[in-house]
Amino acid sequence: MIQDIPPTAIAAPAPERSVATVSEARIAAALTDAQVKVDSSFRGASIVLYGAVFNPEDTPTDVVVVVRGPDAPVRLVKKTRNTGVWLNSRPVLFEGAPGFYMTASTRPLSDISDFGQLRRLGVGVDHLRINAPEESRTVTRYGVRDVVVSRLGEDYLDWRRAVIRLREGAELYDTDPDGVEFVDRGLFRAEVKLPAVAPTGRYFAQVWLFQDGEPISVSNLTLTVEKVGIERDIFEFAHRRPWSYGVLCVLLAALTGWGASRLFRRT
């Protein structure tokens, strides 16, 4: 179970080199909106990613779209039953989990490329580098350094899967094996659905072109989700000057209560 901690996956290799050497096929993509504004009417957003595949050969290609939001570490508890009562375990901190992650592809990812390749590129929810650094320690054993021991032991995969499952439940993680749709020869589109709870920050979209299981071209895009208008002002105020904000909340509440009693006495 020790080896379950996936190797570095985020540090994606420089794909440009392989592009030139392997094939002439290329991919280009763009987003309908590079900026998502979160205001009081925000109920989530749907952005269309569209692009084109230039493929001079006849070898079939696959398109994989990966959108990754800013990292949002997560603390997880597991409920266990103790003498009839469900209690929370000690919380475990997981790092490296993006706050938003989706993949859309022309076929299931496992059909497009092999496990090792996907893991190396960090493509697919199973290949996210989510781990609990505080629960693991590196030791030297039999003269071999860097043996990672996890205190979560056998449960480790359950915990990791739970992070993904809970985020999928909140529509923050999504895997759509038919999400990339070809509208015309070489022209494709994919939809990026951001729920209302999507974290704010910079999002990175990678559009991969696979041929025979090898990534042959990639297009990188960025997308920002930011709070605007009064929402941002309130959020900033509450976090920058929390005490004044608290006093203001109380004054506002007391004033409303007072105002209401004045109003009702007259009528």
Candidates 3, 17, 21, 41; binder of another protein (CB under 8 A) is 41
Tell me if 258 contacts another protein by CB under 8 A.
yes
Dihedral of CA atoms 177, 183, 187, 192 in degrees, nearest 10, equals -50
The interface region with another protein, picked from 5-13, 36-44, 120-128, 134-142 by CB under 8 A, is 36-44
Place of tokens 């009693």: 261
The DSSP bridge partners found for residue 141 are 144
Residue with token string 């709870």: 197
Distance CA 46, CA 54 (A): 26
What tokens appear for 149 in the block?
A: 């021991």
Residue 263 beta carbon to another protein: minimum distance, rounded to whole angstroms: 8
Output 91 or 186, the one with its CB closest to another protein.
Answer: 91
Which DSSP symbol is given to 5?
S
Q: Least distance (Å) from another protein to the CB of residue 175?
A: 19
Q: Binding of another protein at residue 157 (CB under 8 A)?
A: no
Q: What sections of 124-218 are H helices per DSSP?
A: 156-169
Smallest separation (angstroms) from another protein to the CB of 226 = 12
Whole-angstrom CA distances from 100 to 74, 103, 171, 194, 200 are: 12, 10, 9, 8, 10
Given 40, 56, 145, 146, the residue binding another protein (CB under 8 A)? 40
Residue 45 interacts with another protein (CB under 8 A): yes or no: no
Looking at residues 60 to 79 of the shown chain, list those that interact with another protein (rule: CB under 8 A). Answer: 72-79
Sequence-separated (6 or more) residues with CB below 8 Å from residue 4: 150, 156, 157, 160
Please report whether residue 35 would count as binding another protein according to CB under 8 A.
Answer: no
Q: Which is nearer to another protein, 3 or 40 (CB)?
A: 40
* Contacts to another protein by CB under 8 A: 38-44, 72-81, 84-91, 93, 99, 158-159, 162-163, 165-166, 169-170, 196-197, 199, 227, 230-232, 234-235, 238-239, 242-243, 245-250, 252-254, 256-261, 264-265
